[in-house]
Amino acid sequence: MGKQEDFVLRALEERDVRFVRLWFTDVLGALKSVSVDPAELENAFDEGIGFDGSAIEGFARVYESDMLAHPDPSTFQVLPWRNEGPSTARMFCDIRMPDGSPSYADPRYVLKRALTKAADAGFTFYTHPEIEFYLFKDMPEKGEEPEPADRSGYFDHTAQSRTSDFRRETITMLEQMGISVEFSHHEGGPGQQEIDLRYADALSTADNIMTFRTVVREVALTSGTWASFMPKPYTTHPGSGMHTHVSLFEGDRNAFFEAGAEYQLSKTGRHFIAGVLNHAAEITCVTNQWVNSYKRLIGGGEAPPYICWGHNNRSAMIRVPMYKPNKGPSTRVELRTIDSACNPYLAFAVILAAGLKGIEEEYPLPREAEDDVWSLTPSERKALGIKPLPPSLVDAISVAEDSELLAETLGEHVYDFFLRNKRAEWEEYRTQVTPFERDRMLPVL
Ligand code: GLU
Ligand code: MG
C-alpha cells in the first residue's frame, strides 16, 4: 500500500465517508460508477473490483468479459453535493484485465498511452477547455422543443438571474473538488452557459471534464433546471463547443514559445498546428462524435467548418490567441472544432497524436487564414487551399476508416468498436422520417 492509498484510507475515517464511488468512462464517453463500502477499499487498491466488461459500451467481447476497476488514489475527492449526513467520495479507476495488464478498451488508458508517447519525445501535454452547454427549464418531453432557462445572450449580466446563481453554485462545488475555474459567462444562445477550467495536464483535464459534467447536471437538478451538453439543441441558436487551448511543455519550458518568432510561436508549435490541420478530417469523428455534432459544425453560430488556422481569427479552426508581451510561457493554440459531448480522453489522445505527428514529420505550416473564412465563397476558399471538415458523421467515418493515425492511437479494439458504433448511429439516423420532411412535403406532395 503506497502513501496515497494510506491518505485515502485515513480520509475515509476523518471525513465520515460511507460510500465510495468508483468512476470510469465507457468508449462513448458516458460515466460509469460502482459504489463500494469503505471497508472494501483496501482490497480494491490491492486487487481491483471485478465487473462484467461486456455490459459496458465498447469494453469487451463476451468471452473475455471479466475486468477489474483499480481506483487511482490521486483522484480521491468527497462529493460536495452529498453533504447531508455521511459523505460520499469518488475516485477514477484504471481498468485492467484479470492478468493485471491494462484494458485495451479503457479510454483513460488510450490517453495515457498517447501521453507516454509524448513523454518519450520529452513533452507534457496541457489542456484548458472552455465548456459550453445549455440550461433548460425542464427535461423536455419527447419530440418537444426545450425551453431555455433564461433569455439572455453573450456576456449578459442579468440581475436575479437563476443562471448566474447556477454558475456560482457550480463553480463553488468544482473548487471544493480541487478543480479550478478560470472564467464563466453567459454564452450566445438563450440559456447557454460557458465555464472555462484552468489549464492542467491532459489526463487531469479529461478527469475534470467528466467530473464537471456530473457537477453541472447535479446543480441543475437541485436548482430545478436541466443541463445538456448536446452539441446543437436548437436549429436557430449557436451550438455548444468545447474550444480547447493546448500546449506542450519540455520540463518547465513552454515548447510552443520562442521569443521574437512570429506570434512568439516556435517551430514545434508550428509543426504541431500543421499536424492537427493535416489530420483534422481523420480525427473529426472522435472530436465530434454524434450525428448532431455536425449540425453544430455546419450550422453557423461561430462554429468552424473549415480546415485552417489564423492568428486571433475566430473563424478559423485553430486560433493562435494574441500574446501578452510578458507572458511567453502562456503561448498556446486554441482548437475550436471539438464539442462538449466528446469523450475527452479519446479526443485529447487523437489531437495530441496528430500534433506529435506534425512535429515528428516536420510538416510545414500552411499560410494562415487572414479573412473571415465563413464569409468567403466556396471558390475563394478553394483558391486559398482551405478545405472543409467532413460535413456529416458518415463523411467523418469514411475518412476515419482509412486513418492509420486513428487506428494506432485508439488501438485496434477501440478503433473498430468506435467506428462500428458510429456507423450504426448513422444508419439509424438516416432512415428517420423527420418533422422537417412531414412539414414540408405532406401539404404539397
Ligand atoms: N458556441 C460556439 C461554437 O459552437 C462558439 C462561441 C464562442 O466563440 O465562444 O463553437
Ligand atoms: Mg464560448
Q: Atom 5 in ligand 1: which residue has the minimum CA distance?
A: 302
Please give the pLDDT value at position 423.
Answer: 97
Q: Reduced to 3 states, what is the DSSP secondary structure of residue 434?
A: coil
Is residue 296 lining ligand 1, measured as CB closer than 6 Å?
yes
Q: Which of these, 158, 20, 116, lies nearest to 77 by C-alpha position?
A: 20
Q: Atom 8 in ligand 1: which residue has the minimum CA distance?
A: 302
Angle of helix 202-222 relative to helix 162-176, nearest 10 degrees, comes to 140
Per-residue pLDDT of the chain (445 residues; tens, 9 = 90+): 789 999 999 999 999 999 999 999 999 999 999 999 999 999 999 999 998 888 888 887 666 688 999 999 999 999 998 667 789 999 999 999 999 999 999 999 999 999 999 999 999 999 999 999 999 999 888 888 899 998 877 666 665 566 778 889 999 999 999 999 999 998 999 999 999 999 999 999 999 999 999 999 999 999 899 999 999 999 999 999 999 999 999 999 999 999 999 999 999 999 999 999 999 999 999 999 999 999 999 998 899 999 999 998 888 999 998 877 666 678 999 999 999 999 999 999 999 999 999 999 999 999 999 888 989 999 999 999 999 999 999 999 999 999 999 999 999 999 999 999 999 999 999 999 999 999 999 999 9
Residue 195 CA to ligand 2 centre (angstroms)? 9
Task: Give the ligand with the smallest distance to the CA of 184.
Answer: 2
Q: Which of these, 314, 222, 283, 316, lies nearest to 409 by C-alpha position?
A: 283
Residue 165 CA to ligand 1 centre (angstroms)? 22
Distance between CA atoms of 336 and 276, rounded to whole angstroms?
12
Q: What is the DSSP letter of 442?
A: T
Which of 195, 243, 318 for mutating ligand 1's site (highest number of atoms within 8 Å of CB)? Answer: 243
Q: Which of these, 28, 16, 111, 34, lies nearest to 71 by C-alpha position?
A: 34
Please give the pLDDT value at position 325.
Answer: 66
Q: Atom 7 in ligand 1: which residue has the minimum CA distance?
A: 302
Is residue 241 lining ligand 1, measured as CB closer than 6 Å?
yes
Within 8 A by CB and 6+ apart from 228, the residues are: 133, 134, 136, 146
Residue 434 CA to ligand 1 centre (angstroms)? 27
Residue 56 CA to ligand 1 centre (angstroms)? 32
Is residue 341 lining ligand 1, measured as CB closer than 6 Å?
no
Which of 297, 336, 374 for mutating ligand 1's site (highest number of atoms within 8 Å of CB)? Answer: 336
- Whole-model pTM: value is 0.96
Distance between CA atoms of 94 and 49, rounded to whole angstroms?
11
Residue 250 CA to ligand 1 centre (angstroms)? 31
What are the backbone angles phi and psi of residue 253, rounded to the nearest 5°?
Answer: -100, 130
Residue 411 CA to ligand 2 centre (angstroms)? 32
Assign 3-class secondary structure to 87-123: EEEEEEEEEECCCCCECCCCHHHHHHHHHHHHHHCCC
Domains in the chain, please, with CATH?
3-101 (3.10.20.70), 113-433 (3.30.590.10)
Quick count: other Cβ atoms within 10 Å of Cβ 40?
Answer: 13
Please give the pLDDT value at position 157.
Answer: 64
Q: Which of these, 68, 113, 284, 94, lies nearest to 207 by C-alpha position?
A: 94
Distance between CA atoms of 272 and 380, rounded to whole angstroms?
26
Q: Which atom of ligand 1 is nearest to the CA of 303?
A: 10
Is residue 302 lining ligand 1, measured as CB closer than 6 Å?
yes
Q: Which of these, 218, 160, 169, lies nearest to 195 by C-alpha position?
A: 169
Quick count: other Cβ atoms within 10 Å of Cβ 191?
Answer: 26
